[in-house]
C-alpha cells in the first residue's frame, strides 16, 4: 500500500480549480493500492486535513476553522495539537495545485527538503514554466516557435508604447505568472493597451505584451513520462466565441471543468498535428520533465505555423481526459505519475564529496573567523 498525500489549494487565483482537480483525482484513485491523505494548503502556508475531503461541498465558504492542522517532518505527516502524533509516513505527494506557490517551484522545494517524491516537474522547471516571459526565451533556444513579446515591470513607467507599436496591433497583454486566462486582455489601439496593462498589473508585478494572432486556433497537447519514454496525448482544440479562451470558457460552463465546446481529437492536417506533438515532446525532453504536463499551442491559420503559448506543469484535472483514447484512464495515469515520481527519487545520485574542511578548524578567537573559529 502506497501512502499518497494529495496536496491542493494554496493562495493562487486558481485555488477553487485546484480543489475541483483534487476531488476529481481522489475519485479516480484505486483505494486498494493507495492510502490517501488529502492535504489542503491555506493561503497563509499552513496545511490541514479536511473531513469529507472528496466532496466539493466541504469547501464552499471559508475553510478557516475547519479540519486538523498538519505539517511535514521529514517524510512524516504530523498532526498539530496539544499531543502531536504521526499520521503517516508519506511515500509520494500527488500535486493538484494550480498556480501560485503550489506550481511555481515553492511547494516542490519544500517537498525536496523533506525527501518526499512528488508528481510534477522539479523546482527549476516549475519556476521557469510559471513565468511566461522567461520560458519563451528558453523554448526559443530549444528551437520551438514563440510569438514576439516584451516584458514590463510594475515600476517601469509608461515607456512601453514605442516597443509595443513595433510589435504591431493587435496585442495581447498577460500577467507573467498567472494561469487560467486570469488578467488577460486584447488591445487593438494605444488606449486599449494602456487599460489592458493596468488590468494585468492587478494580478502580477510582471506582465508581457505579445503579438496577437487574429486568425488562429488553440491546440492542447499533454505529455507524461512512462517506462523510459515520453507519451504524447491526442490533440484537443478548445472552442471559444471570445478572442481568446477565457476563465469562464474553461470553468464556468455548467459547473464542469473543460465543459466548454471542444474538438477531440482536433481536426488538423497531419503535418501540423505532427509538428505540435514533436514540439511538445521536445520541450518535455529538453527540460527533463516528469508528471503530466499540458502544453498549449496557437496555430496560425494563415501559414499553419504552430507557436508554443504556455506550459502548464500541473494542468487542470491533470489533463487525464486527453489520454483516454490512448487506453489510459485516470486511474492508470495516476499509477504512472506516482510510480515514476518514486522511481526518479530512488534513482537520484547522492552527493559523495567530503571536503574535510571542518577538521582543519577549531573553536577559538585568534586568527579565526568572526564567530570565533580559528585554523589549526
Residues 244 and 313 in one domain: yes
DSSP labels, 93-124: EEE---SHHHHSSHHHHHHHHTT--BSS--HH
Q: How far apart are CA 40 and CA 48, in angstroms?
A: 5
Per DSSP bridges, beta strands 237-238 and 262-263 are antiparallel
Residues 286 and 189 in one domain: no
**Segment 322-371, tens digit of pLDDT:** 999 899 999 999 999 999 999 999 988 777 777 778 887 766 554 556 55
Range of the domain at 62: 2-118
Residues 173 and 307 in one domain: no
- Among 235, 218, 226, CA closest to 319: 235
pLDDT for the residue 350: 77
CATH for 207: 3.30.1490.20
CB 179 within 8 A of CB 132: no
Q: Where is the domain boundary, 159, 186, 211? A: 211
126 vs 180, which has greater pLDDT?
126
Q: How far apart are CA 93 and CA 36, in angstroms?
A: 10
Residues 10 and 99 in one domain: yes
Residues 243 and 196 in one domain: no
Residues 18 and 103 in one domain: yes
- Among 98, 134, 103, 100, CA closest to 204: 100
CB 98 within 8 A of CB 317: no
112 vs 61, which has greater pLDDT?
112
CB 77 within 8 A of CB 37: yes
Q: What is the pTM of this model?
A: 0.86
* pLDDT-above-70 percentage for the chain: 89
Query: Exposed, middle or buried: residue 97 (CB in 10 Å: 0-12, 13-18, 19+)?
Result: buried
* Residue 372 resides in a domain: no
Residues 161 and 273 in one domain: no
CA distances from residue 77 to 80, 85, 113 in whole angstroms, order as listed: 10, 9, 14
CA distances from residue 83 to 34, 77, 86, 121, 174 in whole angstroms, order as listed: 27, 14, 10, 36, 48
* Residue 89 resides in a domain: yes
CATH for 249: 3.30.470.20
Q: How far apart are CA 201 and CA 152, in angstroms?
A: 9
CB 11 within 8 A of CB 2: no
* Residue 266 resides in a domain: yes
Across the beta sheet with 185-187, the strand order is 149-153, 206-211, 171-175, 185-187
Cell of residue 113, nine digits: 527538503
Q: How far apart are CA 2 and CA 258, in angstroms?
A: 30
* Residue 132 resides in a domain: yes
**Segment 31-60, tens digit of pLDDT:** 999 999 999 999 888 999 999 999 999 998
Provide the number of structural domains found in the chain: 3
Choose the weakest-confidence range: 11-15, 90-94, 320-324. 11-15
Residues 39 and 95 in one domain: yes
**Segment 138-196, tens digit of pLDDT:** 999 988 999 999 888 887 667 788 888 888 999 999 988 876 577 899 999 999 999 99
* Residue 354 resides in a domain: no
**Segment 263-272, tens digit of pLDDT:** 999 999 999 9
Cell of residue 14, nine digits: 486558481
CB 102 within 8 A of CB 142: no
CATH for 82: 3.40.50.20
**Segment 280-299, tens digit of pLDDT:** 999 999 999 999 999 999 99
* Residue 54 resides in a domain: yes
Residues 77 and 155 in one domain: no
Q: How far apart are CA 176 and CA 156, in angstroms?
A: 15
As a whole number, mean pLDDT of residues 240-268 equals 62
Residues 59 and 206 in one domain: no
CB 241 within 8 A of CB 261: no
Which residues on neighbouring strands pair with residue 314, listed in sequence order? none
Residues 199 and 221 in one domain: no
* Residue 88 resides in a domain: yes
Chain-centre distance for alpha carbon 239: 22
- Among 231, 251, 259, 261, CA closest to 324: 231
pLDDT for the residue 182: 78
* Residue 123 resides in a domain: no
- Among 98, 142, 152, 90, CA closest to 120: 98
Residues 256 and 204 in one domain: no
Amino acid at each position: 500500500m502506497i501512502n499518497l498525500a494529495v496536496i491542493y489549494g494554496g493562495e493562487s487565483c486558481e485555488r477553487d480549480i485546484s480543489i475541483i482537480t483534487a476531488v476529481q483525482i481522489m475519485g479516480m484513485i484505486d483505494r486498494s493500492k493507495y492510502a490517501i491523505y488529502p492535504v489542503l494548503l491555506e493561503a497563509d502556508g499552513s496545511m490541514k486535513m479536511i473531513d469529507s475531503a472528496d466532496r466539493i461541498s466541504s469547501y464552499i465558504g471559508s475553510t478557516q476553522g475547519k479540519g486538523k492542522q498538519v505539517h511535514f517532518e521529514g517524510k512524516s505527516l504530523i498532526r498539530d495539537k496539544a499531543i502531536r502524533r504521526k499520521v503517516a509516513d508519506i511515500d509520494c505527494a500527488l500535486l493538484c495545485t494550480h498556480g501560485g506557490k503550489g506550481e511555481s517551484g515553492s511547494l516542490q522545494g519544500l517537498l525536496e527538503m523533506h525527501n518526499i517524491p512528488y508528481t510534477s516537474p522539479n523546482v527549476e522547471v516549475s519556476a521557469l514554466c510559471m513565468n511566461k516571459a522567461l520560458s519563451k526565451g528558453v523554448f526559443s533556444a530549444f528551437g520551438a516557435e514563440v510569438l514576439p513579446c516584451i516584458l514590463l515591470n510594475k515600476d517601469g513607467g509608461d515607456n512601453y508604447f514605442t516597443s509595443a507599436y513595433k510589435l504591431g496591433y493587435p496585442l495581447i497583454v498577460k500577467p507573467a505568472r498567472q494561469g487560467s486566462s486570469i488578467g488577460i486582455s486584447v488591445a487593438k489601439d494605444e488606449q486599449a493597451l494602456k487599460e489592458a496593462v493596468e488590468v494585468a498589473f492587478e494580478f502580477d508585478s510582471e506582465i508581457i505584451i505579445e503579438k496577437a494572432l487574429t486568425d488562429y486556433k488553440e491546440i492542447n497537447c499533454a505529455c507524461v513520462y512512462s517506462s523510459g519514454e515520453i507519451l504524447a496525448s491526442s490533440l484537443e482544440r478548445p472552442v471559444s466565441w471570445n478572442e481568446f479562451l477565457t476563465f469562464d470558457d474553461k470553468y464556468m460552463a455548467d459547473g464542469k471543468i473543460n465543459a466548454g465546446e471542444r474538438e477531440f481529437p482536433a481536426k488538423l492536417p497531419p503535418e501540423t498535428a505532427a509538428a505540435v506533438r514533436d514540439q511538445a515532446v521536445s520541450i518535455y525532453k529538453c527540460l527533463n520533465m516528469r508528471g503530466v504536463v499540458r502544453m498549449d499551442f496557437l496555430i496560425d491559420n494563415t501559414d499553419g505555423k504552430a507557436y508554443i503559448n504556455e506550459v502548464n506543469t500541473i494542468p487542470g484535472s491533470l489533463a487525464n481526459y486527453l489520454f483516454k483514447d490512448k487506453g489510459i484512464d485516470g486511474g492508470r495515469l495516476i499509477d504512472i505519475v506516482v510510480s515514476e515520481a518514486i522511481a526518479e527519487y530512488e534513482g537520484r545520485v547522492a552527493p559523495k564529496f567530503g571536503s574535510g574542511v571542518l577538521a582543519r578548524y577549531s573553536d577559538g578567537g585568534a586568527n579565526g573567523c568572526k564567530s570565533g573559529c580559528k585554523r589549526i
